[in-house]
Structures are given as structure tokens and as C-alpha cells.
Chains A and B, each alone.
Chain A
Amino acid sequence: MSLQPFQVIPRLGSEGEPLDGEQLEISMGPQHPSTHGVFRMDLVLDGERVIRLKPVFGYLHRNHEKIGENMTYLGSMPYTDRLDYFCSLTNNWAYALAVEKLAGIQVPERAEYLRVITAELTRLQNHLSLAGFLLQDMGASGTPLMYAFRQREKILDLFESLTGARMMCNYMRFGGCRCDVPDGWLDQARLVVEEFPRFLDEFQALLDENEILMSRTQGVGVLSSALAVNAGVTGPMLRASGVNYDLRKVDHYGIYDRFSFQVPLGDHGDVYDRYMVRVLEMRESLKILESALRTLPPGPVLDPKTKLRGFRPKPGEAYGRIEAPKGELGFYLISDGSPNPYRYRVRPPSFINLTILEDLCLGHQVADVVVILGSVDIVLGEVDR
């Protein structure tokens, strides 16, 4: 476990002398099915063990920040959908929050509720797809992923009837949301939320006590809480290492103060904890959703004073951050009074969570690297920007 990079493990030959183990350097990716996109890892192996790992990314670099600086404030909103394409609604929210801080815009009550509802639905479907992909990476090919996607599709249907698109929602605006819910949407959402725990029970019965799953995940890729804090890891990964830090509780953004929910914590920091923390987080999200759908107040969803065209905030700077399903997602904006931001910076959670990949993988086997990478929950659209 405590192998240093380049260290050759001494082995005894037939004469009783140590042999030089031959190191093998392999390039895993960028088109590897387990790398969740175009991501490459340069692995140095000693036998099956990893002694060095270098993540190589940037294959999906799209100049997101520079595009944002040449775009009006409204024009950047659909581009944020494409950062973490599983969670477009939380991306929208973080960006809208940054612009609202910059320009001092108030958000109507109903819009705040709709934001919480859509963000928690996003968290549900992100964690579902993560659990499916993680189990798929471990070799449970098909079954858990298909079960997860069957359920995720119901949430995506809700997104489609609310925003018009399943994944590229482009729903939030500065000062609220683009449109109110259509007729019958709330009942559909309540139905999805009601039947979700039954699905989660089934999903957990499928694999939680599976001996193969446990031996593949427990004690693998252990992340100590000290390293997690020092490396700036956020989100379920940090909480799986036992650090109680959830921006919904810490930062009090939106109206999360009004809902009672718990923050699940792990105590081992291994892959199994990271998986379980996400499953438990889904149950907490359901509590928030159930309460928000019950207490949704009437009213406008967009501040009537909001200007979509010709929006020019006063010079200044703002940092808006939210607890996205993958961790702390922040947008930093500097305005110089023109219609375009002077500086537009994204703090993507999965990029920063990925920086500790080598520490997690050292000493493990190649097959474990796939599982560890799956448990980090990266989306390359966000890592490479």
C-alpha cells in the first residue's frame, strides 16, 4: 500500500538473489470503455501492481471559459449545460447564482422551490447513473446499469416536460426560472418521488450484500480525510472519507435551510463507502423533494425586472457555488460593465476530485484502477471544459 513511485519490489530468484522486476508502461485510454469519456492514464506497472499513474486529460477541451468571456451573460447559460452533461440543472443554478450575486438580483419564492426540486432530481439521476456505471465497471455488465437507467428515464421525462430537453435543460435564468411547471407536472413528480424508495430497496437488494462486490470495493482506493481536505476534494467523495462538509448545510444558499435532511458520512473512505454515501444521499434527496413538492408556494417564477437582452451588471466580481452532485461547483465572474464578463472561471468538482487519482491507485491492481476511477465520478465534459 505504501509503495513509492519507481520503487522496484525485490523478489527472490531461484538462486536466492533479488531479481529486477521489469516495469511495464501502458497507456490506458483515451478510448477505453471504463474511462467515462476521452481520458488517458499512463500507468507504470510492476506485474499487476500500479507503481505510477499519470492522468492525462484535455482531449475534450472546448475552450469553455474563453467562449464564456466572449458571450453575453445569457448566452453562457446553455453552454453551462454542457459542462457536466449529466447535471445540467445544477450547472445552470451555480451560474445563475454567480450572476445574481454579481448584479444583486432577487429570486422569487416559487423559483427557489423549483430550483431545489430540479436540483435534487438532478442529484438523484446523477447518483443513479454513477451507481450503474460503477457496477458496470466492476463487471456486473448490464443488469444494474439497465435498472438504474430505467429509473433515471422517469426523471429525464420529468425534465423534458418541464424544460423541453432531457439533458441540455437550459432552464434557469438570472432571477428565477424560464417557465412555470406545466399542468400535471407536480403530480407526475410526486409519483416518481413516491415510488423511488421502492426502487432503491430493490437496487440495494440486488448488489449491496453481494460478496463479490464487497471484496472488490472494501479497502480499495482508501482516501484519508487529511488528504481529501488538503487536496480540495469535495462532494460525496469527501463525505465518504468522514468529513462532514456539505455546502447545502454550510453555505445556506437557496432555501435549503427550510428542509430537514441529514448528510451521510462514510468512515473508511474506500470505494464501497463512496458508493454507499451516494445511495444514502439519494434517500436524503427524496426527503427534500417530498417536502418541497408539498410546500411549493404559488407566485411568479421569474423576477419581472429581469432583463434578458442587454444585461449589463455593474463592475465587480462574484463567486457563486453550490453543492452539485459531484461536489462544489463554483462560477467566478468579473464584470467590467460590458455585456460580456471580463473573466469567467469554472471550479469543476470532478476535475479537482480527479487530482488525487494516483494516491488512490498506488499499490492496487490494474482492475482496481477501473473501479477507483469509477468511484471518483468524473464527467470529462467538466474535467476538460
Chain B
Amino acid sequence: MMVPGQGILKGLAETARNFFGSYVSPERLVTVQYPEERLASKEAARNFPFLVFDGDDWQQGLRCVACQICEKECPPKCITIIKDTVRKPDYVGKLQFQPQRFDIDISVCMSCQICVEVCPFDAIKMDTEFELSTADRFDQLRLRKHQLAKSNHYYQRIHPVESAEVDGRLGAEKAKAEAKARK
């Protein structure tokens, strides 16, 4: 036979346990005081895409060869690429096209990572930067090539495991190309 109100008291005891427990047990107090406290970014975390460049000069080192695959495959069509007529050498020294213009409208982008998956040149990767508020919701949310270009060191910092795999693959290709050139 249950005493009336017993269930309510049982529930209140649970609430009290959680309340007082939050002073001693970190498991019961999980709130992070953003922006003073921040959680570490995860390896797989993704927000918006950026363009990777090698070396110090972002225009010379840009990996993108303006093949426009990502532009075609992007589901919400947020990427705009215009091919440049001037070519530049890529990381193995082969002459390749380059984008004259590469815009990503991040108000349209849905962070699906499909551009990264289809890129055969490892030129576009996902960023983890999320504090992107601007005063203008049209032009400043359309990121231009110079805003998108970020160095390989930055990529290695935000995605250590993934970039090690990419660097290993690209390094092997470069060594193969150099060995072929020497012959």
C-alpha cells in the first residue's frame, strides 16, 4: 500500500541528491562557462570549408587546381569558382590551373563535408572555427579566396590525425615525382 505523496517525495529526494551532488561531483555539474571556459575541439569536428596552401605564400602554395568538382557536387551550391587563365606549378612542379576566384557563401553552406570527400587534390578541408559573426549578413558571409586560404600548419593543428595521413600520401607522391624527374 502506497502512502499518498510518496512518489513525489521520492522524486524530490532525487532532485536534492543532484543539487547537493553538483557541489562535489563533477559528473553532476557539466556546465561550461563559455567564453571564459572552452571545450577542446574534436579531431573530427567540422564547420565550414577552407582552402589549404603549402609553404608561406598563400597564392603560390594554394593546392586548389580549379577543377570545379566541389562546385558541381556541393548539394546547396554554395561554392563559386572562376578559373584563371594563368597556370602555376603545383607541389610536384606540374603546371596546373588555379582559381581566379573561389567564393564560399557560408550562409548557404550546410557543413556536410561532401566537397572534402570529392576533392581529389586534398585542397579543401573542414575548419573548426565557429565564431564568425559579422555585421553584414550578405557580403561578409561570402568568404573570398584570401579569407579561405589557410596554411597546412593550421590544418595540422586542427586535424592532427587526418592531416598526418594526407601529408604522408602527398609526400610519397612528391618523392615519386622527384625520383622520376631525376631519371
Contact = CB atoms under 8 A, between A and B. Distances in A.
Contacts of B5: 211
B95 interface: no
Interface in B38-83: 42-46, 69, 73, 75
Interface residues of B, number: 30
Contact of A78 (B4, B8, B112): B112
Contacts of A164: 42, 44-46, 113, 126
Interface stretch (B10-18, B136-144, B168-176): B10-18
A78 B110 CA distance: 8
A147 B17 CA distance: 12
Interface in A197-216: 202, 205-214
A206 B73 contact: no
Contacts of B164: none
Interface in A64-94: 71-72, 74-79
Contacts, number: 82
A335 B17 CA distance: 57
Nearest to A208: B7
B166 interface: no
A163 B112 contact: no
Contacts of B69: 309
Contacts of B2: 209
A229 interface: no
A160 B118 contact: no
A26 interface: no
A213 B8 CA distance: 9
A314 interface: no
Contact of B30 (A74, A153, A207): A153
Interface string A171-185: 000000011001100
A153 to B, nearest CB: 7
Which range holds the interface residue count of chain A?
Answer: 35 or more
Contact of A163 (B7, B30, B44, B117): B44
Which of A76, A153, A208, A309 gathers the greatest number of chain B CB atoms within 10 Å?
Answer: A309
- By secondary structure, the A interface counts as helix
B6 interface: yes
A74 B73 CA distance: 9
Contact of B4 (A71, A162, A208, A211): A211
A19 interface: no
Contacts of A161: 42-44
A206 B44 contact: no
Nearest to A79: B75
B28 to A, nearest CB: 8
B44 A162 contact: yes
Given A75-B73, A75-B75, A206-B15, A168 B10 contact: no
Contact of A160 (B45, B75, B112, B114): B45
A249 interface: no
A178 B112 CA distance: 12
A170 B44 contact: no
Contact of A72 (B6, B30, B42, B73): B73
A362 to B, nearest CB: 29
Interface in A140-178: 143, 147, 150, 153, 160-165, 168, 170, 178
B92 interface: no
Contacts of A165: 45-46, 111
A205 B14 contact: yes
A103 B117 CA distance: 21
Contacts of B7: 207-211, 213-214
6 contacts: A74-B73, A165-B45, A202-B18, A205-B14, A209-B10, A210-B11
Among all A-B residue pairs, the 5 with the closest Cβ atoms: A209-B7, A78-B112, A75-B75, A164-B46, A164-B44
Given A168-B110, A209-B2, A212-B8, 18 more contacts: A75-B114, A78-B112, A147-B18, A160-B42, A164-B46, A170-B112, A170-B113, A178-B117, A183-B161, A202-B17, A202-B18, A206-B10, A208-B7, A209-B10, A210-B11, A213-B7, A308-B117, A309-B118
